[in-house]
Amino acid sequence: MQEVAVDAELTFRDPARARALSARLEEEVHALGRDPVTVMHVCGSHEQAIARFGLRAAFPEGLDVIMGPGCPVCVTDVPEVDEAVALARSGIRVSTYGDMLRVRGTVQSLGDARADGAKVDVVYGVSQAVALAREIREPVVFFASGFETTAVATAAALLDDPPANFSVLSAHKYIPPVMEIVAEMPGAKVEGFLAAGHAATITGYGVFEPFVERHRMPVVVAGFEPLDVLAGLLELVRAIRSGVPKVVNTYPRCVTREGNRRAQELLWRVFRPIGGRWRGIAHVPNGNLRLRDDFADFDARRRFDIDVSSLWDYAPPKLVQKCQCGDIMAGIASPTDCELFGKECTSDAPVGACMVSSEGTCKIWLTYGGHPDLRNIRRRAS
């Protein structure tokens, strides 16, 4: 395993350094002697950095950087939203993040249920939901979505003596197993992964070593500044070119091999991994996080009789049937492949989950100007 030294004085948005990195990236891709080389990142924050700073224009022509299942809101599956909606419609108070309010289940989003009179609160985090439960006497269910980073916060809240009227409906997901699924997808073209720096601060980069061993594919942990992304991609293409699969940590200012042991301990004391569906992708073994038996009293699934059958009579609206979120998260389609993109589906009126959250690919692409593939413009200009 290799750690890349980072210049302490590095200015992470220095255009001259960005150009130099971009030129080296081009050389590496060129030296591979074939194109395209396709790599995937699995974090909405990486896509945001790429779109916001126009980095695709700095990528060489032979390099395809695609976004996989990197938005926790997007991958929350329809039945999980249905559980939250059914709970709310049965009169239980449900609190959740603002983004989750707009994600549709089979028939309704939590926002729709609220418009129909259900008690649904938007909170900024689990601690606000716990505070709400302390304040009022009625049951409060926190609909908890997010990857390992946010699951640690939920775990900490449950270990901090929450009130008895508080419980959690966990839709938390764990990233490393889904990389296995994407790597094994029939027709998958992905040759390496750019892993999310902040998730790796918790899990450590060592968590990717078994994956690299099994799939003979490199993983590079990268931060979120423009130079972090370019440096991470450079290492990724180098690793592909070397033919020696390895984990490379280009974010040593935050990430170690072991990660944050204390956070891991909290996470696994409260949660256990189980298999479950990710929206649009597949059943992911060990990809979902559920509360352990010790926390059964705080597990909304065990505490309430959640009956989603009342929702099954509805057919999904016609527009939803055209949504291509699943293909987008599997890395086989881009937002502009979807006929609804920017027309029937916008940030104000999202049809699919990828248009809801600021980490969703469709929302990011629309926010930063539609199809951000500036290479075509560059080609035309030359």
Interaction of residue 181 with ligand SF4, rule CB under 6 A? no
Q: Write out the chain in H/E/C secondary structure.
A: CEECCCCCCCCCCCHHHHHHHHHHHHHHHHHHCCCCEEEEECCHHHHHHHHHCCHHHHCCCCEEEEECCCCHHHHCCHHHHHHHHHHHHCCCEEEECCHHHHCECCCCEHHHHHHCCCCEEECCCHHHHHHHHHHCCCCEEEEEEECHHHHHHHHHHHCCCCCCCEEEEEEEECHHHHHHHHHHCCCCCCCEEEEEHHHHHHHCHHHHHHHHHHHCCCEEEECCCHHHHHHHHHHHHHHHHHCCCCEEECCCCCCCCCCCHHHHHHHHHHEEEEEEEECCCEEEEEEEEEECHHHHHHEHHHHCCCCCHHHCCCCCCHHHHHCCHHHHHCCCCCHHHCCCECCCECCCCCCCHHHCCCCCHHHHHHHCCCCCCCHHHHHHHC
Region 335-364 residues binding ligand SF4, contact defined as CB under 6 A: 335, 338, 340-341, 345, 351-352, 354-355, 359, 362
**Closest residue by Cα to residue 251 from 227, 273, 218:** 227
From the CB of residue 30, how many other CB atoms can be counted at a distance below 10 Å? 12
Give the number of residues in contact with ligand SF4, rule: CB under 6 A: 27
**Closest residue by Cα to residue 122 from 92, 99, 147, 152:** 99
Distance between CA atoms of residues 353 and 364, nearest Å: 12
Region 205-234 residues binding ligand SF4, contact defined as CB under 6 A: none
The encoded tokens of residue 100 equal: 């989750």
Least Å distance, CB 8 to ligand SF4, is 25
* Piece of 5-13, 68-76, 184-192, 202-210 that binds ligand SF4 (CB under 6 A): 68-76
For the window 12-51, what string marks contact with ligand SF4 as x by the rule CB under 6 A?
Answer: -------------------------------xxx------
For the window 82-121, what string marks contact with ligand SF4 as x by the rule CB under 6 A?
Answer: ----------------------------------------
Interaction of residue 147 with ligand SF4, rule CB under 6 A? yes
* Of 28 and 80, CB closest to ligand SF4: 80
The encoded tokens of residue 314 equal: 């509805």
* Piece of 78-86, 93-101, 250-258, 322-330 that binds ligand SF4 (CB under 6 A): 322-330
Sole binder of ligand SF4 in the list 70, 105, 192, 331 (CB under 6 A): 70
Distance between CA atoms of residues 95 and 82, nearest Å: 14
* Of 64 and 359, CB closest to ligand SF4: 359
Least Å distance, CB 241 to ligand SF4, is 27
Interaction of residue 287 with ligand SF4, rule CB under 6 A? no
* Of 36 and 342, CB closest to ligand SF4: 342
* Of 42 and 86, CB closest to ligand SF4: 42
* Piece of 7-15, 299-307, 320-328, 374-382 that binds ligand SF4 (CB under 6 A): 320-328
Least Å distance, CB 351 to ligand SF4, is 4
Interaction of residue 198 with ligand SF4, rule CB under 6 A? yes
Interaction of residue 328 with ligand SF4, rule CB under 6 A? yes
Least Å distance, CB 127 to ligand SF4, is 17
Closest residue to ligand SF4: CB criterion: 352
- Which chain residues interact with ligand SF4 by CB under 6 A? 43-45, 70-72, 146-147, 149, 196, 198-199, 323-325, 328, 335, 338, 340-341, 345, 351-352, 354-355, 359, 362
